[in-house]
Structure 1
Amino acid sequence: MAAPAGGGEEGGAHAFTGELIMDGAIMLGAALLFVTLFRRLGLGATLGYIVGGAMIGPFVLGLVGNAENIMSISEFGIALLLFIVGLELNPSRLWRLRRDIFGLGVVQVISCGLALSALAHYVMGFSWQAGLAIGMSLSLSSTAQVLPMLRSTGELHKPHGERAFSVLLLQDISIVPLLTLIAALSRAPADPNAPGGVTLALYTVGAIIGLIVIGRFVINPFFRIIGRLGERELFVVAALFTVVGAAALMSWLGLSTALGAFVAGVMLAESPYRHELESDVEPFRSILLGFFFLSVGMMLDLGVIAARPGTVLLAAIGIVVVKAIMITGLGRAFGLNMFGALRLGLLLSQAGEFGFVLLAQSMQAQLVSPEGVSLFGAVITLTMASTPFLMMLIDWLEVRYAEGSGEREGPEAAPKGQVIVVGYGRFGQTVSQMLMAKKIGVTLVDKNAELIDLAEEFGFKVYYGDGMRLDLLRTAGAENARAILFCNDREDISNERLEAVAEAFPQAAIMVRSYDRRHSMDLDGLDLAFCIRELFESAVLMGKAALTELGFSQDDAERVEREYRSLDAERLERQSETGDLHAAKDRMFKDDQAMGEDGKLEPREEGA
């Protein structure tokens, strides 16, 4: 019996939907399993996605296919990533980075591209045209891998992080001239409808100017209207529309969609809704970037690697070594210290996702064979997989070098002061400067090598070492110190270590910055001269200022402050005695418990 008209199409649609759901479930399951495993092993999420994709892809288990289609969709995650980065960059900061973007970035792309082109031509035997296309493709690093690493570790605003961002931004911009170069070298019949290089450059400048104008006079006012409506869903839709619209404009002009998304982010960087936009877009960015790296793993042709393992491995090593050496040298030339430059070199040593795009164009231009594209696709993936290991290596080398060299002195070289301050972060800086205001001798100790270098730029001598170690404190003069102030992070300040310090140096007043209420409870019972939660005082001051701003008198605000401090101290004492965070929870101001006329806590009257 014949199927009803359209029944076959309907059945095909159901089959496609079922296949899509099944593929999505397998990919999410692989991501969950391998990213969790690799995170636990300290190898990073990116490598977990790539290995997970390789396992479920057509060359291992064959559970999911269509890697190219998945990659083409998930590449939008790169656009979302650059949109978020753009939100963090106002035009003044971009102007400050112009030397790194158009100086360091341009020199890196050209120098690394030519060096890798020479390797492809003279060592691997490609023609000079194919070698140039391959070398320039491999000169680009992975924006999708490096930027999340910098953001997660808080390094994006450090000197090497800013230079890495500048180089990556220039690389994204360079996609247009590199595509033009490949078109000029093409052996395929010319496309009469394709725009020329000069036209593409004019399109790029015009599109950027157009996006800035639209953002200033259309998008920003539009977000103000949505903000007044208070509809969260509209914010999500508007945020995605902004990114998609900017990317679509660039795509329509044949330009980089990632660059369009970045410009969209920059034009909203000074918007009062910047943080809401970032929080709305972030989940989509995370998911799509995860799918992108899964698709990279799925496209990893293990057959090519198995057929020519030595070639793939040596090519990957060659790319990483050449780029690391050259970018490290450029980092030094642009003002980074040795370890900052080396960190920059290793961070950008991999080939990136845009290499896949340029190699595909090279194949269409009949410069590189399909087998060559598969080979270098495997090489690119291998270089990307090496980056987490290289960053672990530089972390280890930096710690070992700082411990063993005289470049960063230990506290044995310090003049013996009255006070030792352990930890020279934002908290320790304030404490130490207040002591220095009264000419008190302070010995500063920290184990963050980059922070030590930064402090030296401002004229402060910070000595390298772990300030929780008794032997190091002795060399810093702790046996004669009047006070030892621990301003370092919570993972370093344990009850046992502080107790050992107090026993070893009984003459010194021990003062501690605790992280939160639980940390303060853990430290209870120690003979501490002072212990304060790191945000407690600033929160109390803001609450007091808010009361006066709302029309309450200074006396009323001070009475609330005194009563709150008293209740909080009472709660903390009860919590420490019982070990129960919920102890004395009735001693808190709440909606139904306010401060009475006598200044004491009392239930609020019904209807008050």
Structure 2
Amino acid sequence: MGHAWSHRLTHLANLSDTWSTTAMSSQLRAAQEAADPAVLHLDVQLLQDMVVLCLATAVGGLFAALLDLPHTLGYILGGMLVGPSCLGLVQRVVQSETLAQFGSIFMLFGHGLIYSQHYRNEGNAVHSVYNDTVTGGFLFVVFVFVITLGLLIMNDIVSTWMEGTLLALALALSSTSIVMDTLVHCRLDDSLYGTVVIEIMAVQDLFMAPLLAIPTAISHIVWRYSGLRLFAIMTGYTVLIVTLVILARHTVPRFMQLLSNPDRALAPQLFTLAVVTYCLGMSLLSEWLELSHEAGALFAGLVLMDTPHVQRAAQAVEPLTSLFGGMYLASLGMIISPQFLLGHLGAIMSYVFVIYFLKVFVVTFVMRSFGFALAASLAAGVLLAQVSEVSLFLVARAQQLGLVSRHVYLLMLATTVTLLAVAPLASNMVKRVDKLDFSTLEYTPPHRTGIFATMARHIKCRFNNCPPSRAIRRVCLRLGSCLWRGTSLGSPSSATKRSDAQRV
């Protein structure tokens, strides 16, 4: 009897070993198939998640367009609807957000490419009217930043100076796309008024490339090194970036010219592939240099500015920008929780109120100093009273690196969404203003007084007394579209006024 039980136990043990071996063999076979380069693989769940995210982006953008709201708002709300905090239709959130990161790259690359088209449009009938619009744009950003930083610290919204600085910098930026769309819709982009507003936005956009690199640089470089070591590293980065700019300015346009040959059958496809490769390569190189891929993408677009193939390069990446850019904004929306919005509704609305009226006040002050009527100045303030999409990139990277807390990041995201929702008020405000207020000035004093004029003259004198080299000056002229041709306040000629008034 004992011998029979012993034989049965041995048989069961052998069967168990056989089952284990079979299970291990099946797992090994599956792993080998997954690693086999000769087998095409398809992640059905990831494909389903990307389809859901793309559909949510399209539906959100469509509803935003029907309600005359910014499409950015629709993308974010669409992502929130299918995100984990709402319907939970996206399962592989990490993989979906990783693919959506291509949107930030293509959006910023396209922003850099069209910089010159927005701010240095040769068809513009009114060129740089004011020699000191650069000062006005600079003071707009500085005033909003300083006041916002003070409010954040005094109210204990942020825990560290670094967190407050990054958040204030993000809130100081306004959306270029919303401003340009509103000016074009109201037919003011070629007017004296539109020129001044666009040049103020141009000065603001000069801060974008370094701002996008600040969080990664602080996290990976500044906190690791100090003293001479930090100075040597920053000097090396500067030399390397200048070398890359020179190489890109001389080699990339020639390569694009080679691919633009109409005799080549695959010229359009090759050109698009070359532009995308250049964009992704510069982004990856910037990430390797620990300066963030967003900064590299924007920098790649700025390097090609004013080259013969800027328009074609922008058209080549435009479909990718529309697809991945919308999905990226939708992925940001997946972070938002409706419960969080309802629980912090009072705080969010107070932040929206403060940021909105702060920007309205500062921009109105700047425009009034240029001599525009109060109604036109208020319209410009309402026009710039929102937060840029680039600010979302900046704060998202800062939160990823631990420089901004999750709570502050969610508050910033909710505040941005709310400000985007009230952005159509700007268009209605501009339409109600008398057209003559946009084309005429109430006064053009030759010597202004007050704190704004004093700071403007001080900054301009410092710049004129210490002029940069010819190369740097040329870059500043191209990027800023603000011409430093004199030291006094320029005023539009009577012919310019008459032609501008007739056009309006």
Same fold (TM over 0.5): yes
1:30 aligns with 2:56: yes
1:391 aligns with 2:405: no
The alpha carbon displacement at 1:236 in A equals 0.5
The CA deviation string for residues 116-164 of structure 1, in whole angstroms up to 9 with x for no partner, is 1122122355456244443233223345665666678776664145225
Q: Quote the Cα distance in structure 2 between the aligned partners of 1:276 and 1:360.
A: 31
The alpha carbon displacement at 1:213 in A equals 1.8
Figure out how many residues of one structure are paired with residues of the other and give that number. Answer: 413
Q: Which residue in 1 is equivalent to 2:349? A: 313
Give the 5 Å matches for 1:519-530. Answer: none
1:7 aligns with 2:30: yes
1:286 aligns with 2:322: yes
1:382 aligns with 2:418: yes
The CA deviation string for residues 534-581 of structure 1, in whole angstroms up to 9 with x for no partner, is xxxxxxxxxxxxxxxxxxxxxxxxxxxxxxxxxxxxxxxxxxxxxxxx
The alpha carbon displacement at 1:256 in A equals 5.7
Q: Which residue in 1 is equivalent to 2:146? A: 114
The answer as to whether partners of 1:300 and 1:381 remain within 8 angstroms in 2 is no
Q: Which residue in 2 is equivalent to 1:140? A: 173
1:223 aligns with 2:223: no
Q: Mean alpha-carbon deviation: is it higher for 40-49 or for 367-376? A: 367-376
Q: Quote the Cα distance in structure 2 between the aligned partners of 1:197 and 1:304.
A: 43
Q: Quote the Cα distance in structure 2 between the aligned partners of 1:336 and 1:181.
A: 41
The answer as to whether partners of 2:355 and 2:385 remain within 8 angstroms in 1 is yes
Q: Which residue in 2 is equivalent to 1:203? A: 237
The CA deviation string for residues 47-78 of structure 1, in whole angstroms up to 9 with x for no partner, is 22122122122222121244753553321132
Q: Which residue in 1 is equivalent to 2:482? A: none
The CA deviation string for residues 70-96 of structure 1, in whole angstroms up to 9 with x for no partner, is 553321132232233146379898x96
Q: Quote the Cα distance in structure 1 between the aligned partners of 2:333 and 2:276.
A: 27
TM-score norm. by structure 1 comes to 0.57
The alpha carbon displacement at 1:235 in A equals 0.7
The alpha carbon displacement at 1:24 in A equals 2.0
Q: Quote the Cα distance in structure 1 between the aligned partners of 2:34 and 2:213.
A: 46
The answer as to whether partners of 1:211 and 1:263 remain within 8 angstroms in 2 is no
1:20 aligns with 2:46: yes
2:46 is paired with a residue whose SS is: helix
Q: Quote the Cα distance in structure 2 between the aligned partners of 1:250 and 1:202.
A: 14
The answer as to whether partners of 2:383 and 2:427 remain within 8 angstroms in 1 is no
Q: Quote the Cα distance in structure 2 between the aligned partners of 1:214 and 1:56.
A: 44
Give the letter for the 2:143 counterpart.
S
Q: Quote the Cα distance in structure 1 between the aligned partners of 2:109 and 2:500.
A: 42
Q: Quote the Cα distance in structure 1 between the aligned partners of 2:142 and 2:172.
A: 8
99, 103, 120: which one aligns with 1:74: 103
Q: Quote the Cα distance in structure 2 between the aligned partners of 1:218 and 1:98.
A: 35
1:352 aligns with 2:422: no
Q: Quote the Cα distance in structure 2 between the aligned partners of 1:119 and 1:272.
A: 46
Q: Which structure's residues are more often helix, by fraction?
A: 2
Q: Which residue in 1 is equivalent to 2:498? A: 459
The CA deviation string for residues 405-435 of structure 1, in whole angstroms up to 9 with x for no partner, is 9x89xxxxxxxxxxxxxxxxxxxxxxxxxxx
Q: Which residue in 2 is equivalent to 1:277? A: 313
1:250 aligns with 2:286: yes
Q: Quote the Cα distance in structure 2 between the aligned partners of 1:462 and 1:341.
A: 17
Give the letter for the 2:256 counterpart.
F
Percent of aligned pairs sharing the same letter: 22
The answer as to whether partners of 2:100 and 2:325 remain within 8 angstroms in 1 is no
Structure of greater Rg: 1
The alpha carbon displacement at 1:183 in A equals 5.9
Q: Quote the Cα distance in structure 1 between the aligned partners of 2:129 and 2:105.
A: 26
TM-score norm. by structure 2 comes to 0.67
Q: Quote the Cα distance in structure 2 between the aligned partners of 1:28 and 1:74.
A: 12
The alpha carbon displacement at 1:15 in A equals 9.3
Q: Which residue in 1 is equivalent to 2:271? A: 235
The answer as to whether partners of 1:34 and 1:48 remain within 8 angstroms in 2 is yes
The CA deviation string for residues 422-464 of structure 1, in whole angstroms up to 9 with x for no partner, is xxxxxxxxxxxxxxxxxxxxxxxxxxxxxxx999734359589
1:298 aligns with 2:334: yes
Give the 5 Å matches for 1:401-412. Answer: 401-402=434-435
Q: Quote the Cα distance in structure 1 between the aligned partners of 2:288 and 2:377.
A: 38
Give the letter for the 1:7 counterpart.
A
The alpha carbon displacement at 1:22 in A equals 1.1
62, 76, 81: which one aligns with 1:50: 76
Higher relative contact order (CA 8 A, sep 6+): 2
The answer as to whether partners of 1:180 and 1:196 remain within 8 angstroms in 2 is no
2:422 is paired with a residue whose SS is: helix
The alpha carbon displacement at 1:354 in A equals 4.3
The alpha carbon displacement at 1:288 in A equals 2.2
The CA deviation string for residues 246-297 of structure 1, in whole angstroms up to 9 with x for no partner, is 3333333333645544454454444443333222121112222211221232
Q: Which residue in 2 is equivalent to 1:162? A: 198
The answer as to whether partners of 2:141 and 2:173 remain within 8 angstroms in 1 is yes
The answer as to whether partners of 1:31 and 1:294 remain within 8 angstroms in 2 is yes
Give the letter for the 1:76 counterpart.
I
91, 104, 117: which one aligns with 1:88: 117
Summarize the Cα distance change of 1:174–1:296 in structure 2 as closer, same or farther, 3 Å threshold: same
1:330 aligns with 2:366: yes
Summarize the Cα distance change of 1:68–1:22 in structure 2 as closer, same or farther, 3 Å threshold: closer
Give the letter for the 1:83 counterpart.
G
The answer as to whether partners of 2:140 and 2:366 remain within 8 angstroms in 1 is yes
Summarize the Cα distance change of 1:167–1:293 in structure 2 as closer, same or farther, 3 Å threshold: farther
Q: Quote the Cα distance in structure 2 between the aligned partners of 1:326 and 1:333.
A: 11
Summarize the Cα distance change of 1:298–1:193 in structure 2 as closer, same or farther, 3 Å threshold: farther
Summarize the Cα distance change of 1:55–1:326 in structure 2 as closer, same or farther, 3 Å threshold: same
The answer as to whether partners of 1:109 and 1:171 remain within 8 angstroms in 2 is no
Summarize the Cα distance change of 1:70–1:8 in structure 2 as closer, same or farther, 3 Å threshold: same
The alpha carbon displacement at 1:310 in A equals 0.4
Q: Which residue in 2 is equivalent to 1:571? A: none
Summarize the Cα distance change of 1:283–1:160 in structure 2 as closer, same or farther, 3 Å threshold: farther
Q: Quote the Cα distance in structure 2 between the aligned partners of 1:352 and 1:315.
A: 16
Unaligned stretches of 5+ in structure 1? 409-452, 466-608
Q: Quote the Cα distance in structure 2 between the aligned partners of 1:225 and 1:464.
A: 42
The answer as to whether partners of 1:71 and 1:295 remain within 8 angstroms in 2 is yes
Please give the root-mean-square deviation of Cα atoms over the aligned residues, in Å: 4.4
Q: Quote the Cα distance in structure 2 between the aligned partners of 1:274 and 1:455.
A: 35
Give the letter for the 1:38 counterpart.
A
